[in-house]
């Protein structure tokens, strides 16, 4: 579906004071890059309609090409926040409709461009509110290459497309990870579990380096499933980005059940140092990482 720009006389996005980030960066080679503090764009992936792309007007930089909605970041703004803000301003993308999956950052030393990849969880219709857009369109993944693409997006698309089917989930054996740290957890298992869950929430927000997951891109934001058992099962906590699974009996059995219940069990990374449990989830296709792997990330 293609959205055309407003007719003459219809309102566009209000033009407020110019942000300090709205400026060109000139590389020593003479090349120009938009965004004093770097730039960011959103690759919104709808499971039915495909990727949301912007057709740029002829007078813009690399005009008459297709690219992602995005633009210059504000000073101190994260790549994720910048991509969501810019796509909201340029294409009416509601941030609440996007489940962030990963980001990929092109770093040219003098300038960076971050692509945020997110799944559309609530369908929406894009709205042109930027004079640099000729049209907005949902383009099936297999048809993106058929369009005249902005050269920067064309280069990143080659790297991003193979990553789109990947949806890692981290399943945590909370009792096993707690037991790897002698912090007095045996005296207060619920308290120790609550502390670990809080730290997992921080990691869910901060993201996991792609290298730790052995995936492409720069940083991933996988959902966490934290399995608690015994005295820790009564922990009273609600942690954004972390699903708490309370084992009614065996924690190992619950971890196997949670892994098997995933749409693709092979997408699971199960964190445990228990060899028997590791063998059981590997039989489902899951990858296993020891408690130390997660503790290093939390550090």
pLDDT in tens, 188-217: 888 899 999 999 999 999 999 999 999 999
Which run of H or of E encompasses 177? helix 174-179
The three-class DSSP label of residue 117 is strand
Q: How far apart are CA 49 and CA 44, in angstroms?
A: 10
What range does the domain containing 9 cover? 2-163
Number of compact structural domains in the chain: 2
Q: Which of 97, 132, 163 corresponds to the end of one domain?
A: 163
Same structural domain, 249 and 213: yes
Same structural domain, 177 and 242: yes
Same structural domain, 189 and 224: yes
Residue predicted with more confidence, 5 or 71: 71
pLDDT score of 7 more than 50 = no
pLDDT score of 12 more than 80 = no
pLDDT score of 138 more than 90 = yes
CB–CB of 294/281 below 8 Å? Answer: no
Residue predicted with more confidence, 19 or 167: 167
74-94 in b/e form (b: 16+ CB < 10 A) is beebebbebbbbbbbbbbbbe
Categorize the per-residue pLDDT at 4 as very low, low, confident or very high, splitting at 50, 70 and 90.
very low
Q: Which of 105, 134, 163 corresponds to the end of one domain?
A: 163
Categorize the per-residue pLDDT at 29 as very low, low, confident or very high, splitting at 50, 70 and 90.
confident
pLDDT score of 107 more than 50 = yes
Average pLDDT over the chain reads 89
pLDDT over 70 for what percent of the chain?
92
Q: Which pLDDT belongs to residue 103?
A: 96
If 0-12 CB within 10 Å is exposed, 13-18 middle and 19+ buried, where does residue 96 land? exposed
- CATH number, domain of 180, equals 3.40.50
Report the candidate in 296, 271, 297 with the shortest Cα–Cα distance to residue 205.
Answer: 297
Same structural domain, 174 and 158: no
Q: Which pLDDT belongs to residue 59?
A: 67
Same structural domain, 152 and 232: no
Q: Which pLDDT belongs to residue 9?
A: 31
Categorize the per-residue pLDDT at 17 as very low, low, confident or very high, splitting at 50, 70 and 90.
low
Q: Rounded to two decimals, what is the model's pTM?
A: 0.87
How large is the average pLDDT for residues 43-66?
87
Same structural domain, 123 and 186: no
What are the φ and ψ backbone dihedral angles of 97, each rounded to 5 degrees? -90, 0
Q: Angle at Cα 128 formed by Cα 124 and Cα 129, nearest 5°?
A: 115
Same structural domain, 185 and 156: no
Same structural domain, 125 and 191: no
Helix 275-282 × helix 251-260 angle, to 10°: 20
Q: Which of 109, 138, 163 corresponds to the end of one domain?
A: 163
- CATH number, domain of 88, equals 3.90.79.10
Q: Which pLDDT belongs to residue 211?
A: 97
Same structural domain, 114 and 204: no
């Amino acid at each position: 579906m293609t959205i055309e720009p407003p007719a003459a006389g219809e309102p566009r996005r209000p033009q407020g004071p110019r942000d300090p980030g709205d400026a060109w960066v000139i590389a020593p080679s003479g090349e120009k890059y938009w965004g004093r503090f770097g730039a960011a764009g959103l690759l919104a992936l709808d499971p039915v309609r495909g990727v949301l792309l912007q057709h740029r007007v002829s007078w813009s930089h690399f005009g008459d090409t297709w690219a992602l909605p995005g633009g210059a970041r504000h000073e101190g703004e994260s790549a994720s926040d910048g991509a969501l803000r810019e796509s909201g301003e340029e294409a009416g993308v509601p941030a609440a409709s996007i489940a962030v999956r990963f980001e990929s950052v092109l770093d040219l030393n003098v300038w960076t461009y971050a692509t945020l990849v997110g799944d559309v969880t609530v369908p929406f219709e894009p709205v042109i509110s930027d004079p640099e857009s000729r049209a907005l369109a949902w383009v099936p993944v297999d048809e993106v290459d058929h369009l005249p693409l902005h050269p920067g997006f064309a280069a990143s698309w080659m790297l991003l497309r193979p990553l789109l089917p990947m949806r890692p989930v981290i399943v945590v054996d909370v009792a096993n990870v707690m037991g790897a740290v002698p912090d007095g957890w045996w005296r207060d298992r619920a308290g120790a579990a609550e502390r670990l869950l809080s730290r997992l929430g921080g990691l869910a927000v901060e993201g996991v380096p792609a290298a730790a997951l052995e995936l492409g891109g720069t940083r991933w934001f996988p959902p966490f499933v934290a399995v608690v058992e015994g005295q820790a099962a009564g922990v009273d906590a609600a942690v954004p980005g972390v699903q708490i699974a309370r084992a009614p009996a065996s924690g190992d059995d619950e971890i196997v059940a949670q892994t098997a219940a995933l749409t693709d069990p092979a997408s699971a990374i199960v964190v445990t140092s228990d060899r028997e449990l590791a063998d059981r989830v590997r039989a489902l296709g899951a990858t296993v990482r020891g408690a130390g792997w997660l503790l290093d990330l939390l550090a």
